[in-house]
Amino acid sequence: MNEAITPLIIGNWKMNGKIKQLGEIVELDIILNDMNTDKCHVVICPPTTLLISAAQLNENSKIAFGGQDCHVEQSGAHTGDISAEMLKDAGAQYVIVGHSERRADCGESDEIVQGKVEAAFRADITPIICIGESENERKQGRALEVVLEQLDKSIPTDIKDIIVAYEPVWAIGTGLVPSINDINEMHNAIRVALIKRFGVNGEKTPILYGGSMKPNNAKEMLELNNVNGGLVGGASLKASDFIQIIEACQ
């Protein structure tokens, strides 16, 4: 844990949750109300259909909200898409960009991801930029090279606030996690690359780990100096699981 960066625990609900699922936010909100959360920021990225309702549940909530993706443009003829400005209007302060599921499902390149980061800056919301190697790339010993190239190409030259999420693709939703040494090595390499490119801003950029982070493994990961929080999928859907990961920050 790096004392200079307040850790973030971000829940990515993916394509899960109908209106009933808002009850998990209410439950989490009640628990967080009684907790000292100075040591950790909590964010939930629900499906867009729930974003407005979630953001309006409690205006004094300690939970912030984010979108799961945005279009590069502000508005226009892009059926089915959502712009960063629309997310902001709906109550989002963050947006996930370049998640490996979108890179795979929608063919998103690093260049497209970079456009989405710029869209988030334009709308004044913070992009959470996902990068990570595939199983094959790790087996071939290319994990560091692949991740650092994605980092380099997905981030524009002029940055405002960004969050980087290292998410090995093979660890997402599988229950598999890299060894603690591998996580440490990757996060340290990302930190060095960020400092080399952005100086002081690179020192302050939160680097989250994502990929089967669970209540039973979060603490060990979050203790690493350059792991500044987690991007959590499956374990963010139930308040009772998610709160244990938040507690691991304390």
Task: Just list the catalytic residues.
Answer: 99, 167
Distance of alpha carbon 125 from alpha carbon 95, whole angstroms: 7
Q: How far is the CB of 201 from ligand PEP (least distance, A)?
A: 24
Q: How far is the CB of 143 from ligand PEP (least distance, A)?
A: 16
Residues in the chain: 250
- Please give the residue ranges that form the binding site for ligand PEP (CB under 6 A): 12, 14, 167, 172-173, 210-213, 231-235
Residue of closest CB approach to ligand PEP: 233
**Angle, helix 239-247 to helix 22-33, in steps of 10 degrees:** 40
Nearer to ligand PEP, 85 or 209 (CB): 209
Could you give the angle at the alpha carbon of 190 between the alpha carbons of 187 and 194, nearest 5°? 140
Q: How far is the CB of 162 from ligand PEP (least distance, A)?
A: 17
Nearer to ligand PEP, 65 or 85 (CB): 65
Token look-up 């909200």 returns 65
Do residues 166 and 210 lie in contact, with contact meaning Cβ atoms separated by under 8 Å?
A: yes
Nearer to ligand PEP, 132 or 202 (CB): 132
**Angle, helix 143-154 to helix 180-198, in steps of 10 degrees:** 40
Nearer to ligand PEP, 40 or 171 (CB): 171
Name the H helices within the chain: 22-33, 48-56, 84-89, 100-105, 110-123, 135-139, 143-154, 180-198, 200-204, 218-222, 239-247
Q: How far is the CB of 148 from ligand PEP (least distance, A)?
A: 20
